[in-house]
Amino acid sequence: MNEFRAARSGEAGVEILEGNALRWLIKMLPAPLDIVDFGGATGEVGAALRACGYEARYTVVENPTLVAIMVGKGEASFTAAIPPACDVFFTSGTLQCVGDPYGVLEQGFAAARSAVVLKRNNFSERDIFRVHRSMLFENGSGEIPPHFANIELTYPFRTVRESLIREIAAKKGFRMFSRTPEDDGVPIPGDGVYGAQLTFLRCGRG
Protein backbone atom coordinates (compact mmCIF):
# COMPACT_ATOMS: atom_id res chain seq x y z
CA MET A 1 0.00 0.00 0.00
CA ASN A 2 2.71 2.52 0.96
CA GLU A 3 4.79 1.74 -2.12
CA PHE A 4 1.69 2.03 -4.33
CA ARG A 5 0.67 5.41 -2.91
CA ALA A 6 4.18 6.77 -3.35
CA ALA A 7 4.43 5.43 -6.90
CA ARG A 8 1.05 6.94 -7.79
CA SER A 9 1.74 10.32 -6.20
CA GLY A 10 1.81 13.39 -8.40
CA GLU A 11 0.29 16.80 -8.79
CA ALA A 12 -3.38 16.49 -7.87
CA GLY A 13 -5.99 18.51 -9.70
CA VAL A 14 -7.64 21.41 -7.92
CA GLU A 15 -10.90 19.42 -7.90
CA ILE A 16 -9.53 17.61 -4.84
CA LEU A 17 -10.26 20.84 -2.93
CA GLU A 18 -13.97 20.88 -3.83
CA GLY A 19 -15.95 21.29 -0.61
CA ASN A 20 -12.77 21.50 1.48
CA ALA A 21 -12.94 24.21 4.15
CA LEU A 22 -9.19 24.79 3.77
CA ARG A 23 -9.90 26.55 0.49
CA TRP A 24 -11.74 29.44 2.11
CA LEU A 25 -10.12 29.24 5.54
CA ILE A 26 -6.67 29.87 4.09
CA LYS A 27 -7.97 33.22 2.78
CA MET A 28 -9.12 34.28 6.27
CA LEU A 29 -5.83 33.74 8.07
CA PRO A 30 -2.54 35.60 7.64
CA ALA A 31 -0.09 33.99 5.20
CA PRO A 32 2.08 32.04 5.07
CA LEU A 33 0.31 29.36 7.07
CA ASP A 34 1.79 26.24 8.64
CA ILE A 35 -0.71 23.45 7.85
CA VAL A 36 -0.41 19.96 9.32
CA ASP A 37 -2.29 17.19 7.48
CA PHE A 38 -2.70 14.10 9.67
CA GLY A 39 -2.99 11.04 7.44
CA GLY A 40 -2.36 13.10 4.32
CA ALA A 41 -0.75 10.27 2.33
CA THR A 42 1.56 11.80 -0.29
CA GLY A 43 0.43 15.41 0.22
CA GLU A 44 -2.09 15.73 -2.61
CA VAL A 45 -4.13 18.40 -0.79
CA GLY A 46 -1.04 20.53 -0.20
CA ALA A 47 -0.08 20.21 -3.87
CA ALA A 48 -3.57 21.32 -4.91
CA LEU A 49 -3.39 24.35 -2.60
CA ARG A 50 -0.08 25.38 -4.17
CA ALA A 51 -1.57 24.91 -7.64
CA CYS A 52 -4.28 27.41 -6.65
CA GLY A 53 -1.63 29.91 -5.57
CA TYR A 54 -2.24 29.63 -1.83
CA GLU A 55 0.82 30.31 0.31
CA ALA A 56 1.35 27.63 2.95
CA ARG A 57 3.99 25.39 4.47
CA TYR A 58 2.48 21.90 4.35
CA THR A 59 3.46 19.03 6.65
CA VAL A 60 2.03 15.52 6.26
CA VAL A 61 1.88 13.16 9.25
CA GLU A 62 1.97 9.55 8.10
CA ASN A 63 3.16 6.09 9.06
CA PRO A 64 6.96 5.74 9.28
CA THR A 65 7.22 3.56 6.17
CA LEU A 66 5.47 6.07 3.91
CA VAL A 67 7.41 8.94 5.50
CA ALA A 68 10.70 7.19 4.69
CA ILE A 69 9.61 6.74 1.07
CA MET A 70 8.35 10.32 0.63
CA VAL A 71 11.07 12.37 2.37
CA GLY A 72 12.64 14.68 -0.19
CA LYS A 73 9.86 14.20 -2.76
CA GLY A 74 7.73 17.20 -3.63
CA GLU A 75 7.35 20.40 -1.63
CA ALA A 76 5.56 19.00 1.43
CA SER A 77 7.40 17.92 4.57
CA PHE A 78 6.78 14.45 5.99
CA THR A 79 6.93 13.29 9.59
CA ALA A 80 5.66 10.36 11.66
CA ALA A 81 4.64 12.52 14.65
CA ILE A 82 2.28 15.47 15.01
CA PRO A 83 4.42 18.63 15.30
CA PRO A 84 4.06 20.60 18.55
CA ALA A 85 2.76 23.72 16.77
CA CYS A 86 1.06 24.73 13.53
CA ASP A 87 -1.46 27.31 12.35
CA VAL A 88 -4.03 24.82 11.03
CA PHE A 89 -4.49 21.15 11.92
CA PHE A 90 -6.29 19.25 9.15
CA THR A 91 -7.31 15.64 8.75
CA SER A 92 -9.55 13.96 6.19
CA GLY A 93 -10.94 10.43 6.35
CA THR A 94 -8.34 9.26 8.87
CA LEU A 95 -9.81 9.52 12.38
CA GLN A 96 -12.03 6.49 11.77
CA CYS A 97 -8.97 4.40 10.83
CA VAL A 98 -6.75 4.99 13.88
CA GLY A 99 -6.86 3.26 17.25
CA ASP A 100 -7.13 6.42 19.37
CA PRO A 101 -8.82 9.19 17.38
CA TYR A 102 -9.45 11.30 20.47
CA GLY A 103 -5.78 11.18 21.44
CA VAL A 104 -4.93 12.39 17.93
CA LEU A 105 -7.43 15.23 18.31
CA GLU A 106 -6.05 16.21 21.72
CA GLN A 107 -2.65 16.64 20.08
CA GLY A 108 -4.06 18.37 17.01
CA PHE A 109 -6.08 20.96 18.90
CA ALA A 110 -3.17 21.58 21.28
CA ALA A 111 -0.83 22.18 18.33
CA ALA A 112 -3.14 24.45 16.30
CA ARG A 113 -2.67 28.18 16.83
CA SER A 114 -5.64 29.25 14.70
CA ALA A 115 -7.92 26.54 13.29
CA VAL A 116 -8.79 22.85 13.02
CA VAL A 117 -10.53 21.28 10.01
CA LEU A 118 -11.94 17.74 10.22
CA LYS A 119 -13.20 16.38 6.88
CA ARG A 120 -14.68 13.06 5.65
CA ASN A 121 -15.75 11.89 9.09
CA ASN A 122 -17.67 8.76 10.06
CA PHE A 123 -19.75 9.95 13.02
CA SER A 124 -22.07 8.20 15.43
CA GLU A 125 -22.81 8.57 19.12
CA ARG A 126 -22.54 4.77 19.28
CA ASP A 127 -19.16 3.13 19.00
CA ILE A 128 -19.36 0.90 15.91
CA PHE A 129 -16.39 -1.12 14.69
CA ARG A 130 -16.26 -2.75 11.27
CA VAL A 131 -13.75 -4.15 8.81
CA HIS A 132 -13.52 -1.88 5.77
CA ARG A 133 -12.69 -3.31 2.35
CA SER A 134 -11.44 -1.48 -0.71
CA MET A 135 -9.40 -2.22 -3.81
CA LEU A 136 -5.82 -0.98 -4.04
CA PHE A 137 -6.44 1.06 -7.19
CA GLU A 138 -9.15 3.08 -5.38
CA ASN A 139 -6.40 4.77 -3.35
CA GLY A 140 -4.51 7.84 -4.50
CA SER A 141 -4.73 10.01 -7.59
CA GLY A 142 -2.85 10.06 -10.86
CA GLU A 143 -1.86 7.33 -13.27
CA ILE A 144 -1.95 3.72 -12.04
CA PRO A 145 1.71 2.66 -11.81
CA PRO A 146 2.73 -0.60 -13.49
CA HIS A 147 3.67 -3.82 -11.74
CA PHE A 148 0.96 -3.58 -9.04
CA ALA A 149 -1.97 -5.99 -8.71
CA ASN A 150 -5.38 -4.56 -7.80
CA ILE A 151 -5.65 -6.52 -4.56
CA GLU A 152 -8.33 -6.16 -1.90
CA LEU A 153 -7.31 -4.24 1.23
CA THR A 154 -8.91 -4.71 4.64
CA TYR A 155 -8.44 -2.59 7.74
CA PRO A 156 -10.31 -1.67 10.95
CA PHE A 157 -12.87 1.11 10.55
CA ARG A 158 -14.79 2.78 13.38
CA THR A 159 -17.19 5.58 14.17
CA VAL A 160 -16.17 8.73 16.04
CA ARG A 161 -18.36 10.70 18.43
CA GLU A 162 -18.95 14.29 17.34
CA SER A 163 -19.94 15.23 20.90
CA LEU A 164 -16.52 14.19 22.21
CA ILE A 165 -14.79 16.19 19.48
CA ARG A 166 -16.74 19.27 20.53
CA GLU A 167 -15.72 18.68 24.15
CA ILE A 168 -12.05 18.42 23.22
CA ALA A 169 -12.31 21.57 21.10
CA ALA A 170 -13.89 23.58 23.91
CA LYS A 171 -11.32 22.33 26.41
CA LYS A 172 -8.51 23.46 24.10
CA GLY A 173 -10.04 26.92 23.59
CA PHE A 174 -11.79 26.45 20.23
CA ARG A 175 -15.33 27.16 19.03
CA MET A 176 -17.26 25.68 16.14
CA PHE A 177 -17.09 28.04 13.14
CA SER A 178 -18.81 25.93 10.49
CA ARG A 179 -20.43 22.53 10.17
CA THR A 180 -21.22 21.11 6.73
CA PRO A 181 -23.05 17.79 6.27
CA GLU A 182 -21.22 15.43 3.90
CA ASP A 183 -21.31 11.69 3.35
CA ASP A 184 -18.12 10.89 1.42
CA GLY A 185 -16.47 9.55 4.59
CA VAL A 186 -19.39 7.27 5.47
CA PRO A 187 -19.30 3.86 3.76
CA ILE A 188 -22.48 2.59 5.45
CA PRO A 189 -24.89 5.45 6.33
CA GLY A 190 -27.99 5.10 8.47
CA ASP A 191 -28.54 3.60 11.91
CA GLY A 192 -27.30 6.82 13.47
CA VAL A 193 -24.14 6.98 11.34
CA TYR A 194 -23.57 10.25 9.46
CA GLY A 195 -20.88 12.54 8.13
CA ALA A 196 -20.02 16.21 8.52
CA GLN A 197 -17.07 18.51 7.94
CA LEU A 198 -16.22 20.47 11.08
CA THR A 199 -14.21 23.69 11.20
CA PHE A 200 -13.08 25.15 14.51
CA LEU A 201 -11.43 28.51 15.22
CA ARG A 202 -9.47 29.35 18.32
CA CYS A 203 -11.59 31.59 20.53
CA GLY A 204 -10.88 35.24 19.80
CA ARG A 205 -10.48 34.69 16.04
CA GLY A 206 -13.09 35.24 13.37
pLDDT of residue 20: 96
- Does 140 fall in a domain? no
Whether 115 shows a pLDDT value over 90: the answer reads yes
DSSP string, 172-205: TTEEEEEEEE--TT-SS-BTTBB-EEEEEEETT-
Q: Which is higher by pLDDT, 162 or 74? A: 162
pLDDT of residue 205: 67
Instruction: Answer yes or no: pTM beyond 0.85.
Output: yes
- Does 111 fall in a domain? yes
The pLDDT tens digits of the residues spanning 59-97 come to 999 999 999 999 888 789 999 999 999 999 999 999 999
pLDDT of residue 12: 62
- Does 153 fall in a domain? no
Question: What's the domain range around 85?
Answer: 2-128+159-202
pLDDT of residue 166: 98
The pLDDT tens digits of the residues spanning 102-111 come to 999 999 999 9
- Percent of all residues in the chain with a pLDDT value above 70, rounded to a whole number: 97
- Does 117 fall in a domain? yes
Three-state DSSP at 51 gives helix
- Does 47 fall in a domain? yes
Q: Which is higher by pLDDT, 135 or 40? A: 40
79 in Cβ contact with 91 (< 8 Å): no
Range 156-168 average pLDDT: 96
Whether 10 shows a pLDDT value over 70: the answer reads no
Domain count, the chain: 1
- Does 154 fall in a domain? no
Three-state DSSP at 95 gives helix
Q: Report the CATH number that the domain containing residue 83 is assigned in CATH.
A: 3.40.50.150
- Does 149 fall in a domain? no
- Does 138 fall in a domain? no
